[in-house]
Amino acid sequence: MIDKLSFLKGGTDGGAVSPDEERLMQLFQNRAGLKKAYADLKDEFHLLRDRLKQQEGATIRVQEQLDALGDLLGDPKTGYGALVFYQLRTLWKTCHQQLSTFAADLTRQQEAREMAKHKAETEAAKSSRLADVDGRLHAAAAEADSKRRHLAAEQSEISRLTAFWHYFKRRRREKSLESLRNQVVVADAAVGDLHAERSAIDHEAAPEFPGISLAARRNINLAIISYAELLCENVDAYGLAARAKEAVARRVHEMSFGTRADCESHMQRVQQAQSAVANQKQVTAALKTKLERLRGTCEYRNNADTVPTADSLAPAAAAAELGKPWNVLAEDYWDLYTVLLR
């Protein structure tokens, strides 16, 4: 085959390749390309088939869960318990949404304040640098004007020395003019450099905002933790905080809520807790007290960490005079870690 295709190295007789030989070469190239495309499609087919099997398995598992849930809801003994279970999960989700909204509002407000401060400081620094350049530019321009006037005065003085007895004096004065001209050139160059420096400062891009400071992120996180504690207290006023946490950690068939009357009582209290959490307005005073307490006890693993250690918050929680001690960070109430700033 190599002998037959020897024309690929320059033709059969050392001349140009014939049209038939070009078509044969093109066919071989097309065949190689088709084989590669076929191999790629085959690999993609096997990959998609594996994904389809995985999806079928996931669909079967979901269907089994739906069937099991249907059986629970269809059984009078377990149906009410399933309703309580999912209402507790909804209560947990509501508290998490409240916490996320609170965190987003604090972050947005702090970012706006620090961004405005950063802009003001940047503009003040730029104005200070421009003022410094303007001062040096004014002094340099005055120096250049002074040397230029001196040069003009010397030239005028020399022009008046026209008598023949002024010949040697005029030559001495003319020699000094070269030095004065060099001084004027140097002074004008200094003025030009200062103009360029001022223009560069005036047109330089403002530095990007580096983000919220470490101290601010720490304060925001402490405020979020304080708000999570407050949510725990509000929900536990109806005896549901621990039950809600248990509901998100376990499966529906693993929990029991008692008789139908007990389940109805649970559902009523869940609705009351939902309303209390959703309609919570005045929290400033309570949050301030909790925030000050956390600031006095919190510790960090290193100087760059923004989330305090859970152990450092435990003494503060245990020292609470009223109510159940909460360490929301250690128990990750309301999925707290997902909203804390890093």
Rounded Cα distance, 224 and 221, in Å: 5
> 3-state DSSP: the chain helix, strand, coil percent, rounded to 5?
80, 0, 20
Rounded Cα distance, 177 and 155, in Å: 8
Burial 75-100 (b: 16+ CB within 10 A, else e): eeebebbbbbbebbeebbebbbebbe
Q: Which two tokens stand for residue 214?
A: 């470490």
**Backbone region of residue 242 per phi and psi (left: phi > 0; alpha: psi in -120 to 50; beta: other values):** alpha
pTM: 0.69
Cα 43 to chain centroid distance, Å, stands at: 38
Residue type at 136? R
Q: CB under 8 Å to 155, separation ≥6 — which residues?
A: 177
| pLDDT single digits (tens) 48-76 | 888 888 887 877 776 666 666 565 565 66
| For the chain, domain boundaries | 6-70, 78-119+212-338, 122-203
Task: Give me the tens of pLDDT residue by residue for the chain, a chain 342 residues long.
Answer: 445 444 444 444 455 667 877 777 787 778 878 888 888 888 888 888 888 888 878 777 766 666 665 655 656 666 788 888 889 999 999 999 999 999 999 999 999 999 999 999 999 999 999 999 999 989 989 988 888 888 787 777 767 666 666 566 666 666 677 788 888 888 889 889 999 988 998 888 888 988 999 999 999 999 999 999 989 988 998 989 989 999 888 887 778 888 888 888 888 999 999 888 877 666 677 788 888 888 888 889 999 999 998 888 875 444 544 456 678 888 989 999 999 998
Rounded Cα distance, 42 and 56, in Å: 21
CA-to-CA dists, residue 54 to 42, 50, 60, 68, angstroms? 19, 6, 10, 21
Rg (CA), the chain: 42
CATH class in words for 122-203: mainly alpha
